[in-house]
Amino acid sequence: MATPHISAEKGDFAKTVLMPGDPLRAKFIAETFLTDAVEVNHTRGILGYTGLYKGKRVSVMASGMGCPSIGIYSHELFNFYDVENIIRIGSAGALSERLKVRDIVAGIGSNTTSSYAEQYHMPGTLAPTADYTLLSTAVDCAKARKIEMHVGNLLCSDAFYNEGGMAETVSWAKMGTLAVEMESTALYLEAARAGKRALTIVTISDHLITGEATTAEERQNTFTQMMEIALDTAARMEEV
């Protein structure tokens, strides 16, 4: 059953997969939150695990960085492993003064500078969006934990080091875009094409206006509120 990028067998993944970018964050989630976790993938260092959370079967696997990487892994999970839901849990840079470092944002839509959608040959502009059921469930889970979660549009960029600097991101901020990351567009498009569900939840790791930032270790090990919201959502989706 193995694909070119995933060594798991069919049935190894749960209905819902959490996807951090960092393989070590996937390992941290499995070891911290899941019981009876089993490693189901290690190809190319992309660690994947399946275990139980609140008695519900849940998987977590890294996506790597950028649209091409998450596009490959989400496509294979949706189309070859019968995965129904993917929740990206990652970090993002704040574009809005409303946000602070460590705030949590759910991306209802994914503005983008990526050309990923060109493969679909649409006769207009395709708007990549989150699945409403996943989004509304995540909002309910955040409220249940009394965690504030902002909901709005993200900017999905192909460039981490942007030659245009802040001048380009200011334009997106003026249109209400909350934060910038690098994976949501490909994930949302792959879900739409496969007829599956996807959601991006991010924690603000750095602020493009104030310059405040967290360390790589903090991003790997301390963004637990976002992880708990995603895990609660995954558990509830077992009943959908």
Write the DSSP assignment of 169-190 as a string of letters: HHHHHHTT--EEESSHHHHHHH
Neighbours of 88 (CB within 10 A): 26
Question: Which residues define the annotated binding site for phosphate?
Answer: 21, 25, 44, 88-91
Question: Which residues define the annotated binding site for a purine D-ribonucleoside?
Answer: 5, 181-183, 205-206
pLDDT tens for 44-73 read 999 999 999 999 999 999 999 999 999 999
Boundaries of every domain in the chain: 16-237
Q: How far apart are CA 227 and CA 195, in angstroms?
A: 25
Q: What is the mean pLDDT of residues 190-213?
A: 94
Note if 158 is an active site residue: no
**pTM of the full structure:** 0.95
Q: CB under 8 Å to 164, separation ≥6 — which residues?
A: none
3-state SS assignment for residue 138:
helix
Q: What is the mean pLDDT of residues 13-26?
A: 97
4 burial via Cβ count (<10 Å: 0-12, 13-18, 19+): exposed
CATH code: domain 16-237 is 3.40.50.1580
Question: Which residues define the annotated binding site?
Answer: 5, 21, 25, 44, 88-91, 181-183, 205-206
Cα–Cα distance list, 40 to 9, 11, 32, 50, 100 (Å): 8, 10, 17, 7, 36
Q: Which of 82, 103, 206, 232 is catalytic?
A: 206
Strand partners, 149: 104
At residue 35, what are phi and psi to the nearest 5 degrees?
-105, 150
* pLDDT at 216 (0 to 100): 80
pLDDT tens for 143-178 read 999 999 999 999 999 988 877 766 677 889 999 999
Cα–Cα distance list, 189 to 67, 74, 196, 224 (Å): 10, 10, 10, 27
